[in-house]
A = this chain, B = another copy of it.
Amino acid sequence: MNASAAPGGDPGSLPAEVRVVNVGLSLFADAVRAQGAAAVDVDWRIPAGGRTELVAALARLYGPLAERVDAANREVLRRLDTGAPALVGVATAAAVVPGMGGRTVLHCGPPLAWDDFCDPLRRSARATVMAEGWAATAAEADRLIAAGGVELEPANHHATVVPMATTLGPSAPVLVVDNPPGGNRAFAPINQGPGLTAWFGADAPAAVERLVWLRDAAAPVLAAALAGAGEVELFPIAAQGLQMGDDLHMRTQAATNLLLRHLLPDLVAVEDPALGEVARFLSGNHLFFLNLAMAAAKAVTDWAASVPDASVVVAMARNGTTFGIRLAGDAGWSAAPAPPVGRALYYPGFGPDSSAPDIGDSAVLELVGLGGPAAAASPAVAAFLGGTVADAVATTEAMDRICLGRSSRFKLPLLDYRGTPVGVDVRRVVELELTPSINTGILHASEGTGQVGAGIAEAPVACFQQALLGLDARLAPGG
């Protein structure tokens, strides 16, 4: 409280005029205002909810350890902002994805035992096992997996990211994305498109057929077109997409169209009887670029992940059961139960009760300045965030509070071309108890009927708290 006495007044008497700066709860300021005096509120909260061990860790990580952590973070930010991921081709997973031999099936999110798989992810895994030809029916596939006949692995451990409930078998085609500055490579499956599909948690015959068609028909056509087109740098397309109303997570319409226009000369040159079908598929799938943006973000975050001692988040993924993050310099996951997708819009007849929890590796986008941090770029996404452009701007600005920098390439026209927030600092998340917002789709909880809506998921603070304590323990073992 700042009480300024009237000039010349007796310092022992009450001041003639009072102006108040109120920190924390607004009750006191309200009382001051009710008496006609001016009061300014400061939105201050007890850091880290006042939990002693968190406050102590923060005190060390912002105090004696700060120089070491900040230096690491600068290098992480440099990598996140200068990685240059480029699409170089389409290949069979077993041939290019590291550690993808035998009967491996990659899934979204942190590691998970089969018993803990949620319904949509379970169905997706069955669909993949059927597409691989290891089982003829969903029941047979289920028995094979339950008996340990399939090695379930998090895609993130294999330089790969998969959206929603996608699973990936060794015969599936993957998009290959190189990051020359880091000398590393990342992968994502081809987006499966709309309808009854495995990535939306379906194991119906149509979903299996889609996987087979993507492998046998679409992949060769795309591979031929990409061979003609040469490398395609992905972040410049994403940056243009932000200028055209995409957030590059929930909406990738503009970026998809830009890519298709770029590939057009090489697509028409493909000599393959499936070209017409593939063109129809591409023409009807405005999320085609989603998986490319994800592979690009994975390439860049994997490069950043090898920097030790940082407090920046470089992996954020959900399997529908748990939500996990990883910090740069630490291969371990910090996980918490997957949250529901709040602030959602549902297809008619659906609602929170029929919705699976937040799922998929796509939250990697939020770590490179796309999706939630780029909400202010997308009036269409604003519809999910309260309806007005101001709500979308507020989402971007909340991300600004927990990020260490701003993208030098992803710009927001509505905020005078300010860069999108990049570099989620686990210290800030824990201190402010403010977690990243993730723009995402919603799947049916149990019926395998696919997408039922879309909305905004708030990452659970518990995994950030756990990661903070882990970082503190690594850097200050005696602390």
Contact = CB atoms under 8 A, between A and B. Distances in A.
Contact of A243 (B243, B279, B380): B380
Interface stretch (A183-191, A267-275, A348-356): A267-275
Contact of A264 (B253, B254, B260, B269): B260
Contact of A283 (B262, B270, B276): B262
Contacts of A254: 244-245, 254, 257
Nearest to A245: B244
Interface in A244-270: 244-245, 253-254, 256-258, 260-262, 264-265, 267-270
A259 to B, nearest CB: 10
Contact of A260 (B260, B269, B280, B389): B260
A413 interface: yes
Nearest to A267: B268
Number of copies: 2
A82 interface: no
Contacts of A282: 261, 264
A414 interface: yes
A416 interface: yes
Interface in A301-318: none
Q: How large is the interface on A (under 10, 10 to 19, 20 to 34, 35 or more residues)?
A: 20 to 34
A220 interface: no
Contacts of A380: 243, 413
B257 A283 contact: no
A256 B261 CA distance: 9
Contacts of A268: 267-268, 270, 275-276, 279
Contacts of A270: 268
A26 to B, nearest CB: 29
Which of A256, A261, A276 counts the most chain B CB atoms within 10 A?
A: A261
Contacts of A260: 257, 260-261, 264
Contacts of A379: 243, 413-414
A388 B414 contact: no
24 contacts: A243-B245, A244-B244, A244-B245, A244-B253, A244-B254, A245-B245, A245-B413, A257-B257, A257-B260, A262-B283, A264-B267, A264-B280, A265-B276, A265-B279, A267-B268, A267-B279, A268-B268, A268-B270, A268-B275, A268-B279, A379-B414, A380-B413, A389-B413, A414-B414
Closest 4 CB pairs of A and B: A379-B413, A257-B257, A244-B244, A265-B279
